[in-house]
Structure 1
Amino acid sequence: MPFTTTTPVPLYLREDGPASAPPLLLLHGGPGAHHDYLYPQMLALAESHRVFTYDQRGGGQSKTDSPEPITWRTQVDDLGLVVRELGMLPPTVTGPTIVGYSWGALLAMLYAVQSTVDPSLVPPARLVLVSPAPITRGWRDEFEQTLAERGRSAVVQQLRDELAASGLRETDMVAYRQRAFELSVAGYFADPTRATALTPFRVTGKVQQSVWQSLGQYDLTESLRAVRVPTLVVHGRQDPIPLASAEAAAEALGGEMVVLDDCGHVPYVESPTLLFRSIDRFLQHRA
C-alpha cells in the first residue's frame, strides 16, 4: 500500500479502522470516479470494521494511459485481484464483505454473478448495496431522464441564480467552485437545498462511457438469482434511480430491502443515522 501490486494497473488503495476489526471492502460509484467523495461520512463504517477502498481503474489516482478500453469485466477482474491481495479468502475469512455505492453496488452484483461461474473469483460473504445503479438498461434510461428533469427544475435554477448573483466567483474562487459542484449534483437529492458540504469529485468521461457501452442492453434480473449471498439493499424513496430497480435486485438476491423516506441518492449525507444503523444491524446479524 497505498497501491496494489497484483493488478495490471496499480490501483490506489486506502485503509481505515482498527487492524483487528473484521475487514470490509467499500466500492465507490462512477464508473470513472474515485473514492474521495464518500468521505468523511463513510468513515462511520470504520468504527466497527477495517475498511478498505480503492480508486477503480481509470479514475482518481488509478488512472492509466493504456489505450485498451476499460469494461465492466475489467473492473470485475480488478476487484477479484484486490480481494485476493487483501487476503479476504477462506479459511481466514469466509470471503469478502462488500459494501457498494451506486455504480459500486452494480459492480458488486456483477462480481457476485461472475463468481458463480468463474472459480478465480472469491464469492462474497455478504453484500450491502447502497443506492444501487439500475440493474437493467431500461431502468438506467429512466434514471437519466429523471435526473435531467431535476437538473432543470425551478428550485435548482433558483439556486444557480443565487450563486451567480452572490459575487462569490470574484471574491472566493475556491468557495465558488465548491458551490458550483454541489449544484451540479443537486438533482440527486430529495431536497436540492441539502446538497451542501460535499466532497467534490471528477469522473473520467471515457472510462464512464466505455464501461456503460460494454454492458450494452444489459439486464441482471435473472442472473442475480444464481447468487446465494446474504444481501442488504438500501435505497432512498426519492432517488432518481427507480426504486423498482433496487426492489427487483433485492427480490432476485433474496435480500433485505430498506427504503429511506425523504432521501435521494446520497443517504450517507441525507439520512446517515438510518443508513448506518441499517448497515450495522445487518452486518452484526450476519457476522
Structure 2
Amino acid sequence: MTYFKPRFIRSTFLIISTLLLFISCKKEIPAEGFVEVEGGKIWYRIIGEGEATPLLILHGGPGSRSCSMIPGYSLLAKDRKVIFYDQLGSGSSDRPSDTSLWRKERFVNEIELLREELQLDSLHILGQSWGGALLSEYLITREPEGVKSVIFSSPLLSTEDWMEDAKLLLSQMPEPIQDTIYKHEALKDYSAPVYLAAVDSFYSKHLSRKSWPYEPNPECENVGDFNSEVYNYMWGPTEFTATGTLLDFDRTKDLDKIDEPILFLAGEYDEARPETMYEYQKLAKNARVKIIENSGHSTMIDQPEQVAEAIGSFLNRVENREGAE
C-alpha cells in the first residue's frame, strides 16, 4: 500500500484548486454581444476560430460603423479571430446625444473595457482613418500590454496634415469642381445640390473608387446610419473643413514612442496620401508602408483581397519573428 505524505497531498490539492480557479475565470465569450461603457453599451462581433493572435478593428468616422468593413476584413478570419465593434454613438451601439461623451479619452476607455470583457490579453490592433487617431491615443497615453503589432490604415494622425492633403488633392480636380467646393465652403452652404455633386466627384476618386455612394452590403441591414452629429462635433461639416474638437489633433511627434511593429496602409488615391504615409514611417521606430493599388480611402471596400494579403503577410511576419525569439 502506497503512503502519501501530508505535504504531498496539500501540494496536489493546491495545484488542482489553482487549475480549477483558472478554468472558472475563463468565461465563455459570446460571438456577438454588448459591452457596458460610459454612456451606454457598445456592440461587438467576433468572426473566425483560428489560433493565431486575434485582430481588433477600430472603425473610422467619428460616427461611422463597422458593417461596411466586415466582408473584407473577414478574409483574415481563416487564421485568427477578427473582432469588430461599433463605437458609442455609431452603428449598432447606443446613440446618446450627450456631447460630453465625445471625448478621445472616453473612446480610449472603450478599447480597454472591450479588451477586458473579451479577454483580449494578446492582440493586434488596426485603426482605420479616425480609428487610427484613436489607436495612436490608446498606444501613447495608456502604453497597453499585450499589443503585438499596430496597423494604421489610411490614418488620421494629424489634422493639419489631413487638411493639407485634402487641399492638394482638391487642387488636382477640374477647376469647376474646385471653384464650386471653395465657394460653398466659404459660404458654409453644405447642402446646395451643386456643392454635393462636386463633393461626390471628389469622393468617387479619393474616398471609394469602387462604389460611391456606397452600395450597402447585407451586414449593414438594420444597422444605424452614419452619425453626422458625432462627426460634426468632433471633426466638422466636411472632409475639407475641420472645426470640431479634433481641430488641433496631432500625434505625429509621438510616433517614436510606439515600440510595437507598425504597418502604414493607404490607397493609391487615398485622402491619406501615400506620400504622407512615407513621412510617418520616418517618424516611427519599426514601420513598414504598403500602398494598395487602384484604391481610395476605403481600401477594404475597393480592394479587399489586396488588403487582406498585405495585412495577413504583416501579421504572419510579426508572429513568426516572435516564435523564433
* Aligned-partner SS, 1:4: strand
For 2:204, the equivalent position in structure 1 comes to 186
Task: Name the structure 2 match of 1:32.
Answer: 63
Is the alpha carbon distance of 1:153 and 1:43 closer, same or farther for their aligned partners in structure 2, counting shifts above 3 Å?
farther
* Root mean square deviation, CA, Å: 3.0
Q: How does 1:39-50 map onto structure 2 within 5 Å?
A: 39-50=70-81
User: Is 1:210 matched with 2:233?
Assistant: yes
Structure-2 residue corresponding to 1:141: 163
**Is contact 1:29-1:103 (8 Å) kept?**
yes
Q: Residues of 2 paired with 1:240 and 1:255: CA distance?
A: 20
Deviation at 1:276, TM superposition (A): 1.3
Gaps of 5+ in 2: 1-31, 178-199, 236-243, 320-325
Letter in 2 for 1:285: R
Whole-angstrom CA distance in 1 between matches of 2:225 and 2:54: 28
Compute the TM-score of the two structures, normalised by the length of structure 2: 0.67
Structure 1 stretch displaced more, 246-255 or 226-235: 246-255
Alignment of 1:100 with 2:127, yes or no, is yes
- Cα distance change on mapping 1:49 and 1:184 into 2, 3 Å: farther
Number of residue pairs matched by the alignment = 251
Residues 1:70 and 2:99 are matched in the alignment: no
Q: Which residue of the partner structure matches residue 6 of structure 2?
A: none
Q: CA deviation at 1:44?
A: 0.6
How far did 1:220 drift? 1.2
Runs of at least 5 residues in structure 1 that lack an aligned partner in the other structure: 156-181
Q: How does 1:54-93 map to 2 (within 5 A)?
A: 54-62=85-93, 63-89=95-121, 93=122
CA distance change for structure 1 residues 13 and 149 in 2, over 3 Å: closer, same or farther? farther
Name the structure 2 match of 1:259: 291
* 1:110 counterpart residue number: 137
Match of 1:159 in 2: none
CA distance in 2, matches of 1:3, 1:22: 22
Q: Which residue in the other structure is 1:242 paired with?
A: 273
Give the share of equivalent positions with the same residue, in percent.
22
Structure 2 Cα separation of the partners of residues 35 and 136 of structure 1: 23
Specify the code of the residue in structure 2 equivalent to 1:271: Q
Distance 2:165 2:86 in 1: 25
Whether the aligned pair in 2 keeps the contact of 1:147 and 1:187 (CA below 8 Å) is: no
Query: SS in structure 2 opposite 1:132?
Result: coil
Sort the Cα spacing of 1:140 and 1:197 in 2 relative to 1 into closer, same or farther, 3 A. closer
In structure 2, the residue matched to 1:162 is none
